[in-house]
């Protein structure tokens, strides 16, 4: 008999008053009893709608049934059939728009906490010795992967398990992509990402850091080195700016730079040598996960007032609902229906004010969300000493510019022939944010899986 409790088993979390001053993980994870109780809310639906909502088609009722029985190892084995990063996805997947959005329990009440259970099982496995990694027999083929984010790591893992000699070339000194340089420690502890990467290294994947492809080596040179196929998973790390006057003032930064300094270079630590802006009254412009992360980091660095300026309303914000709620609990101040017009500086070139315009919502645009329409004469000025721009990212053009035959669309995203990721250049695949533009971890992983399957098909025939 399932547990018919209408609400999800609550997730224990750090007190907002405490956590806004530290970088420790906010959500603390279920206990064994909580996990079993939540798993018992699953109805084990025969037609499994939740599986269709997961981009990598995890057997959701299957892994949850094992949790309900208290068989965590068995549950981990079911998860592992489809995902290599369950501890990451259980924490950062936008479940409310994916698997949980189509959960039958969600029709009348709250859906089953699928992400929370996935996290629990992955953490249980890590605490109980980790998954056994068996080194496969080499099949004699070599594949290069560019970028060590979720797309590249997934491709590498899938191919390495089949016996391919895989080398990852990563531009930064650390692996993990956005999981390490973008998403803050309080949402996704770096040790968890590292453990997933260590498992790849045990499979025999070679990881070469500080290797900017397009500069240190080109794609053509990788082929000359003997790689038979190349997967590009270089992400979308180029920040988009507003294009308004004053964006070059002292105190204005992209969220990318702000978060990289904090997450990758440890600027939040008292003894860090990495400089970072520490404004007293700051506006974060944007409404996605990146904006939420930047705002919550600014608060933790000691800002007295952190405002999020978003051009639509809360209902249209693309950030995960849980992140918005956590930010609200931490005292982030949300200002809706606002578009910045210019940033004004003082005589020393430092940010002093932002000149903005209020909007109202008009007809839906191509994205289906109602378009912000400026209200004439609604101008206002707000005093600030910092502005963080978090309105989006696009792919860096370096690889495209140094690889003949590699085509991109008008947004700079690589063009692929289909969802399996073959690009316009022979034997070069791509996936993740470099193809879709800024998206999600699980979509990047799904793309990596599909590309790996096609690379395998192609090389198995060679």
Q: Which residues bind ligand FAD (CB under 6 A)?
A: 92-94, 146-152, 169-172, 177-178, 182-183, 211-214, 233-235, 237, 259, 289-290, 293, 320, 396, 398-399, 432-434, 438-442, 444
Nearer Cβ to ligand SF4, position 18 or 107?
107
**Terminal CA-CA length for the chain:** 53
Is residue 442 near ligand SF4 by the rule CB under 6 A?
Answer: yes
Q: Given candidates 35, 89, 126, 428, which one binds ligand SF4 under the rule CB under 6 A? A: 89
Distance of alpha carbon 237 from alpha carbon 412, whole angstroms: 12
- Helices 60-69, 114-127: axis angle to 10 degrees equals 60
User: CA 32 → CA 35, 199, 268, 292, distances in Å?
Assistant: 5, 25, 33, 30
CB of 432 to ligand FAD, least distance (A): 2
Pairing of strands 252-254, 386-389: parallel
Nearer Cβ to ligand FAD, position 149 or 251?
149
- Do 302 and 220 form a contact (C-beta atoms < 8 A)? no
Distance of alpha carbon 379 from alpha carbon 388, whole angstroms: 20
For residue 347 the two structure tokens come to 């005589």
Q: Given candidates 105, 116, 300, 352, which one binds ligand SF4 under the rule CB under 6 A? A: 105
In 111-225, where does DSSP find H-type helix?
A: 114-127, 150-161, 178-181, 190-202, 219-224
Instruction: With contacts defined by CB under 6 A, name the span among 56-64, 290-298, 357-365, 404-412 that binds ligand SF4.
Output: 56-64
Binding mask of the shown chain, residues 57 to 76, with x at each position contacting ligand SF4 by CB under 6 A: -x-xx---------------
Residue 386 binds which entry of ligand SF4, ligand FAD, none, with Cβ cut-offs from 5 to 8 Å by kind?
A: none
| 3-class DSSP state of 210 | coil
CB of 20 to ligand SF4, least distance (A): 26
Q: Given candidates 36, 67, 87, 114, which one binds ligand SF4 under the rule CB under 6 A? A: 114
Nearer Cβ to ligand FAD, position 399 or 408?
399
Nearer Cβ to ligand FAD, position 350 or 420?
420
**CA geometry: angle 216, 222, 225, nearest 5 deg:** 110
377 burial type by CB count under 10 A (0-12 exposed, 13-18 middle, 19+ buried): exposed
Instruction: With contacts defined by CB under 6 A, name the span among 96-104, 152-160, 167-175, 447-455 that binds ligand SF4.
Output: 96-104
Residue 160 binds which entry of ligand FAD, ligand SF4, none, with Cβ cut-offs from 5 to 8 Å by kind?
A: none
Distance of alpha carbon 55 from alpha carbon 289, whole angstroms: 19
Cα 51 off chain centre by:
21
- Do 142 and 167 form a contact (C-beta atoms < 8 A)? yes
| 3-class DSSP state of 106 | helix
CB of 414 to ligand SF4, least distance (A): 24
Distance of alpha carbon 56 from alpha carbon 3, whole angstroms: 27
Instruction: With contacts defined by CB under 6 A, name the span among 93-101, 152-160, 189-197, 218-226 that binds ligand SF4.
Output: 93-101
For residue 252 the two structure tokens come to 């204005």
Instruction: With contacts defined by CB under 6 A, name the span among 23-31, 111-119, 126-134, 303-311 that binds ligand SF4.
Output: 111-119
Is residue 99 near ligand SF4 by the rule CB under 6 A?
Answer: yes
| 3-class DSSP state of 440 | coil
Nearer Cβ to ligand FAD, position 356 or 439?
439
CB of 118 to ligand SF4, least distance (A): 5
Distance of alpha carbon 185 from alpha carbon 264, whole angstroms: 10
CB of 336 to ligand FAD, least distance (A): 21
Q: Which residues bind ligand SF4 (CB under 6 A)?
A: 42-45, 48-50, 54, 56, 58, 60-61, 83, 89, 93, 95, 98-99, 103-105, 112, 114-115, 118, 442
């Amino acid at each position: 008999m399932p547990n018919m409790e209408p609400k999800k088993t609550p997730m224990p979390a750090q007190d907002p008053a405490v956590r806004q001053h530290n970088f420790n993980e906010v959500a603390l994870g279920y206990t064994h009893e909580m996990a079993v109780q939540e798993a018992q809310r699953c109805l084990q639906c025969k037609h499994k709608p939740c599986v269709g909502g997961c981009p990598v088609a995890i057997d959701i009722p299957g892994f949850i049934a094992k949790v309900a029985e208290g068989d965590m190892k068995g549950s981990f084995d079911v998860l592992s059939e489809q995902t290599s990063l369950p501890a990451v996805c259980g924490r950062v997947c936008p479940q409310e728009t994916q698997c949980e959005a189509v959960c039958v329990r969600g029709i009348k009440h709250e859906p089953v906490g699928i992400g929370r259970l996935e996290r629990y099982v992955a953490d249980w496995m890590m605490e109980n010795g980790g998954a056994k990694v068996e080194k496969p027999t080499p099949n004699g083929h070599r594949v290069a992967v560019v970028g060590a984010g979720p797309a590249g790591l997934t491709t590498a893992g899938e191919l390495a398990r089949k016996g391919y000699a895989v080398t990852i070339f990563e531009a930064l000194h650390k692996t993990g992509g956005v999981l390490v340089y973008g998403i803050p420690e309080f949402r996704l502890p770096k040790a968890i990402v590292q453990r997933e990467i260590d498992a790849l290294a045990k499979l025999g994947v070679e990881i070469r850091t500080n290797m900017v492809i397009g500069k240190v080596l080109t794609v053509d040179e990788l082929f000359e080195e003997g790689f038979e196929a190349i997967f590009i998973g270089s992400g979308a790390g180029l920040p988009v700016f507003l294009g308004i006057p004053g964006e070059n003032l002292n105190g204005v930064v992209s969220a990318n730079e702000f978060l990289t300094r904090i997450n990758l270079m440890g600027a939040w630590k008292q003894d860090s040598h990495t400089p970072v802006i520490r404004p007293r009254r700051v506006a974060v412009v944007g409404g996605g996960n990146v904006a939420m992360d930047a705002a919550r980091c600014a608060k933790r660095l000691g800002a007295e007032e952190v405002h999020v300026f978003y051009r639509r309303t809360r209902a249209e914000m693309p950030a995960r609902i849980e992140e918005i709620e956590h930010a609200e609990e931490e005292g982030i101040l949300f200002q809706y229906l606002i578009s910045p017009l210019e940033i004004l500086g003082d005589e020393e070139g430092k940010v002093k004010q932002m000149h903005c315009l209020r909007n109202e919502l008009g007809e839906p645009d191509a994205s289906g969300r109602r378009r912000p329409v400026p209200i004439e004469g609604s101008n206002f000025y707000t005093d600030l000493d910092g502005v963080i721009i978090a309105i989006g990212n696009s792919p860096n053009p370096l690889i495209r510019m140094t690889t003949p035959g590699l085509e991109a669309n008008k947004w700079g995203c690589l063009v692929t022939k289909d969802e399996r990721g073959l690009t316009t250049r022979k034997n070069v695949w791509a996936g993740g944010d470099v193809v879709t533009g800024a998206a999600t971890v699980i979509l990047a992983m799904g793309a990596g899986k599909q590309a790996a399957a096609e690379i395998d098909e192609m090389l198995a025939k060679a």
